[in-house]
Structure 1
Amino acid sequence: MRVALHSEIKPGAVDQYRESHAVIPEELVATFDRVGISSWTIFRSGLRLFHDVICDDWDAANEVLDADPANARWQQDIGRFVELFRDSDGGEGYAPLELMWDLELQKRRS
């Protein structure tokens, strides 16, 4: 499955966020592999970040990540630069954004 997330960087923290993501910890990469996250891409527009995540099961992966020590260390470190996550309605929340349209899905249905 593919999910999208929206977060915002704290003002003045873009460069530090970028540096932190130049190479994430290998133990976190291994955790992502173990929980079925095969791809995670982040795009930036100003202070807004858009995450494109491909995984086997988003909810199941997050259950494991919530208790994973490598993820806890990463969240503590990267959390210094993240203002908040937003849900589909613009409020605070870590829920995936609503899928509005997907060309690939449309082609498969044709």
Structure 2
Amino acid sequence: MTRLALHSRLIAGTEESYALEHARVWPELIGVMNAAGITDWSIWRSGRDLFHLVECDDYEAAVAQLANDPVDQRWQQHMSQFVEGFAENGGPLQHVWTMSLQTG
């Protein structure tokens, strides 16, 4: 299992609407994410910045599978009214430190 972090940014003024959209994400989207090997996805917000923690079997394979999925395509189109996009190249953030991994 892999855990990775992503960073995206909201369009100014859409913060509350974005939160409302995530009050109940489409169940069919959760189904296709699970089928792609994503077991959990959490999002935190600071101002307009969003930080995502994704747990999955293989992130690259999951992204490739979701890119061709009509449910995910509809969700991404719908969410594009709120999100400017992912930071830089959209890849994972560089891991720096995890307390539980430090010994001694």
1:89 corresponds to: none
| Match of residue 99 from structure 2 | 103
Separation in 1, partners of 2:21, 2:11 = 14
- Tell me how far apart the structure 2 counterparts of residues 45 and 104 of structure 1 sit (CA, whole Å): 24
How far apart, CA to CA, are the structure 2 residues paired with 1:79 and 1:105? 36
CA distance in 1, matches of 2:47, 2:101: 29
1:28 lines up with 2:24 in the alignment? no
Secondary structure (helix, strand or coil) at the match of 1:38 reads: strand
Q: Aligned partners of 2:86, 2:30: CA distance in 1, in Å? A: 21
1:77 aligns with 2:73: no
Q: Report the alpha carbon displacement of residue 32 of structure 1 after superposing the two structures with TM.
A: 1.1
Give the distance between the partners of 1:25 and 1:4, measured in 2 at CA.
22
- Using the alignment, how far apart are the partners of 2:100 and 2:55 within structure 1? 14
How many Å separate the matches in 2 of 1:36 and 1:81? 26
TM-score, length of structure 2 as denominator length: 0.94
Aligned equivalents of 2:98 and 2:64: distance in 1?
27
TM-score by length of 1: 0.89
- CA distance in structure 1 between the partners assigned to 2:25 and 2:89 by the alignment: 23
For structure 1, the residue ranges without an aligned partner over 5 or more in a row are 87-91
Q: What code does the residue aligned with 2:23 have? A: A
Written as runs of structure 1 = structure 2, the 5 A alignment for 1:17-96 is 17-86=18-87, 92-96=88-92
- In the alignment, structure 2 segments of 5+ residues that lack a partner are none
Note the C-alpha offset of 1:84: 2.0
Instruction: Give the total of aligned pairs.
Output: 103
CA distances 1:66-93 after superposition (whole Å, capped 9, x unpaired): 101110000000111001211xxxxx22
